[in-house]
Amino acid sequence: MRVCLWFALLLWGTGSPNFEPARSLREQADARGMLVGTAVRPYALSEMAYSATLGREFNMLEGEDAMKWWVLRPDRATFNFTDGDRVVGFAEVHRMKVRGHNLVWGWTNPAWLTNGNFKTQELSQMLEEHITTVAKHYRGKVFAWDVVNEGFDEHGKVKPSIWYDQPGIGFAGKGTAYIEQTFRWAHAADPDALLFYNDGGAETVNEKSNAIYAMVKDFKRRGVPIDGVGLQMHIFDLAPDLAGIDANIARFSALGVQIHLTEMDVAVPLDAYGSPSPEDLAKQAEIYRRVASACLAHSGCTAIQTWGFTDKYSWIGSATKKAKGAGLLFDRDYHPKPAYEGLRQALQKQ
């Protein structure tokens, strides 16, 4: 209660008639020409506190799962756009931009696809059809697509997948050629959309980010239609390599592509009652502030997005067997946490 009272005073002042309430994240981002966004769950949009916080605090959103294969394609012949359309509809009403996530991923594909024993030519035709149908359906509504998600392993090698080499769409053993083809298909379907490669574990300078950097540099040199790189920014260590994150954003920006921080959360340890310590929440807030500041320091970094915004709907607890959690800007009751103020401070700094 004392923490909530302190934060309320911080945000809303002491009642002085000359005091102006602190601006929301959205207002701060709009003032700087930035995008601040979050991933959403369509079913939660019917929850009043969820939708009110979402519309007030963010100027961009994407569906967590709403535009993935397993949701869009219940079977080979059917496209079900219900969840994706609901996300887009909310964004239109609240004047928000929409990121599309994602067109191609080697994981969480529907069973009919992964167990279908399709041949290379069939997979190629199917993937082109999927990219074309989905991108055209959302043309003019989705401003940026994560075309390929998580295509490299931690050592910078192209990951085995149904699209690459199991059996692949015709480019097995040819490195990033299959990724290039998917970008060309996406551009043909929606020439106005910004096209991103998105990955996790590549936020700092390492083997994976080196491989992505080499691919983007090659694509830009040869005119492959790539516009940006998404750095997921799932942080599970309260002492991340902040200097490396800054250097990585800088070098991608120098290639002339945009950088979006696409899935940020900062997990903290939880006690036996499922609660984080005040000290760890302070460290979390500082990480949000410094990562956002690193983005804002480079003109190519144009969007900061979190993977959800309330701890009520976060994947971290299930992923860590409840050892960690509380990774987002608002607690389970939609109260802003110190992390919220950390991000807001970064956005307001001139």
Q: CA angle, 184 as apex, 183 and 189 as ends, to 5°?
A: 95
Q: Provide DSSP, 169-231.
A: SS-TTSTTHHHHHHHHHHHHH-TTSEEEEEESS-SSSSHHHHHHHHHHHHHHHHT----EEEE
Tell me the angle at which helices 177-189 and 207-222 cross, rounded to the nearest 10 degrees.
50
| Residue 190 near residue 144 (C-beta atoms within 8 A) | no
Q: How far apart are CA 7 and CA 22, in angstroms?
A: 11
Indicate the SS3 state at residue 258: strand
Catalytic residue among 64, 128, 203, 263: 263
Q: Provide DSSP, 312-329.
A: GG-SHHHHTTTSEE--SS
CB-side exposure of 165: number of CA atoms within 13 Å? 11
- Token digits of residue 251: 């070098």
Catalytic residue among 150, 180, 203, 341: 150
- Side chain identity at residue 37, one-letter code: G
Q: How far apart are CA 286 and CA 311, in angstroms?
A: 18
Task: For residue 44, count CB atoms less than 10 angstroms from its CB and return exposed for 0-12, middle for 13-18, buried for 19 or more.
Answer: middle
Q: How far apart are CA 114 and CA 109, in angstroms?
A: 7
Q: What share of the chain is helix, strand, coil (3-state, %, to 5)?
A: 45, 20, 40
- Based on the residue annotation, tell me whether 64 is a catalytic residue of this protein: no
- Based on the residue annotation, tell me whether 150 is a catalytic residue of this protein: yes
User: Which residues carry out catalysis?
Assistant: 150, 263
